[in-house]
Structure 1
Amino acid sequence: MSHKVFNRIRDDLCNYDRYFIQKSDVMKKVGLLLEQKMASSLRMLAYGATADQCAEYCRMAKSTSIECLQRFTRGIIALYSEEYLRALTLVDLKRLLAKGEKRGLPRMIGSIDCMHWQWKNCPTAWAGEYSGRKKILTIIIEAIASYDTWIWHAFFGMPGACNDLNVLAKSPLFDELTAGRAPKIQFQVNNKVHKLGYYLVDRIYPRWATFVKTIPNPTRPKEITFAKAQEGYQKDVERCFDILQASFGIVRGATHGWDKEDL
């Protein structure tokens, strides 16, 4: 992280939550520096370090490291969600549609898929619900990613025993569409007019007008070309998951949290 970004977050957090300001206790003993609290949180997020591992490096107790991480993540969401975690706007939609047309898939919005995050400290009473087909306790995140690895839709919290269809049934992805507030998109293919944009998905998803799947066992040249393009561009979301796990070690390994809301 650059010094400029670090200093910006530091100043914003101080103004947002006084917990990060260095204070003295009743015995006039000076408390932890803001930089210590931020370093502990960033190490846990970026490297997947546990609270115990931060104790020696940052000179902080385990309980303090956990509290710092919770307050840090909540502060980041409160401060920057409006800009960086926003939903798709009309300007964003036009940009994605233009890029999809250049790639040979007109009116393609993005790629959708799900990722499982292992939950090490899942309560025993919930083990059956969160145990997937690999007998590992996981929580599912559904995401839509664009060509530039921007996740503009994320739905997190479904238990690992569910599949992509179960997650889709609970997802708020099409709430705006069913309410009639989604932007109008119209295009023509093979002399047929379509009024919905579409997402690239794998074979488990249903045969909806807004989903485009690959052609199984293509034989003709056109089918082979389409399947190659669809399968290649559908990897955008999988590539985004890989980048997310490479950048944040806390997502790459099993999470040690106890509360699903904190996760």
Structure 2
Amino acid sequence: MEFVEKHDNYFVQKVDALGRLGLSPHQKITTAMRILAYGAATDSADEYTKIGESTTIESLKRFCRAMVEVFGDWYFWSPDAEDIERILHIGKQRGFPRMLGSLDCMHWKWKNCPTGCAGQYVGRSGKPTIILEAVADYELWIWHVYFGLLGSNNDINVLSKSPLFANLANGEAPPANNVIQGK
């Protein structure tokens, strides 16, 4: 909360012309996090944090922007050559030589999927889902995330559309030397 408040004055609690305290940063940030974490509707925040829908939307936009601008350089990056070397070294020590991370695709139930889109996002469960592809290393450092694709797709279909392998195919990856079948 401190970082967000320092980055964007919108989150600092202010006093209005009548001397009343406005919305607290706790209210605005909690609202944004509930929407992101639980898929809560923007008009549901009124019941929980006493914030109207327009303020909820503004808080969400500003919170997301602040997260990227404040923490983006540290948390939202692909591994560089030094990271690759460290990850490969630890993987080798643990019995997984040449392993950069664990890749997985999963279907997340989309609780508040708009009715007009629900049919396009029906997953194998018969309910609307959105597909998440993620790569994490042994420390659970997530260095690739991809949300996407309509409908019920298997992991191969997701991977074929993923920017992870598109980048690798275009040569946009840190150097990692591997030996495969003696080559």
TM-score by length of 2: 0.80
> Could you say if the C-alpha distance between residues 188 and 22 of structure 1 is closer, same or farther in structure 2, counting changes exceeding 3 Å?
closer
Residue of structure 1 in register with 2:59 after alignment: 68
- Residue 126 of structure 1 aligns to a residue in which SS? helix
> How many matched pairs?
183
Residue of structure 1 in register with 2:88 after alignment: 97
2:156 aligns with one of 160, 165, 171: 165
CA contact (8 A) 2:159 2:165 kept: no
- Structure 1 unaligned segments of length 5 or more: list them: 1-8, 194-263
> Could you say if the C-alpha distance between residues 30 and 162 of structure 1 is closer, same or farther in structure 2, counting changes exceeding 3 Å?
same
Q: Give, in angstroms, the shift of residue 86 of structure 1.
A: 1.0
Quick check: 1:82 aligned with 2:112?
A: no
TM-score by length of 1: 0.59
1:148 aligns with one of 111, 126, 139: 139
Looking at structure 2, the residues matched to 41 and 175 of structure 1 have their Cα atoms a distance apart, in angstroms, of 32
Looking at structure 1, the residues matched to 56 and 115 of structure 2 have their Cα atoms a distance apart, in angstroms, of 25
Looking at structure 2, the residues matched to 152 and 93 of structure 1 have their Cα atoms a distance apart, in angstroms, of 11
Q: Give, in angstroms, the shift of residue 143 of structure 1.
A: 0.5
Task: Give the number of the structure with larger relative contact order, counting CA–CA contacts within 8 Å between residues 6 or more apart.
Answer: 1
CA contact (8 A) 2:130 2:147 kept: yes
- Structure 2 unaligned segments of length 5 or more: list them: none
- Residue 104 of structure 2 aligns to a residue in which SS? strand
Looking at structure 2, the residues matched to 124 and 60 of structure 1 have their Cα atoms a distance apart, in angstroms, of 25
> Could you say if the C-alpha distance between residues 132 and 15 of structure 1 is closer, same or farther in structure 2, counting changes exceeding 3 Å?
same
How do 1:211-250 residues align onto structure 2 when only pairs under 5 Å count?
none
- Residue 153 of structure 1 aligns to a residue in which SS? strand
CA-to-partner distance for each residue in 1:219-256, whole Å, 9 max, x for gaps? xxxxxxxxxxxxxxxxxxxxxxxxxxxxxxxxxxxxxx
Q: Give, in angstroms, the shift of residue 110 of structure 1.
A: 1.1
Q: Give, in angstroms, the shift of residue 69 of structure 1.
A: 3.1
How do 1:1-263 residues align onto structure 2 when only pairs under 5 Å count?
9-10=1-2, 12-25=3-16, 29-42=20-33, 55=46, 58-188=49-179, 192-193=182-183
- Residue 13 of structure 1 aligns to a residue in which SS? helix
Q: Give, in angstroms, the shift of residue 108 of structure 1.
A: 1.0
CA-to-partner distance for each residue in 1:128-147, whole Å, 9 max, x for gaps? 32001210100011001111
* Bigger Cα Rg: 1
CA-to-partner distance for each residue in 1:154-212, whole Å, 9 max, x for gaps? 0112224222122111111123422234333334466x12xxxxxxxxxxxxxxxxxxx
Q: Which amino acid aligns with 1:170?
A: K
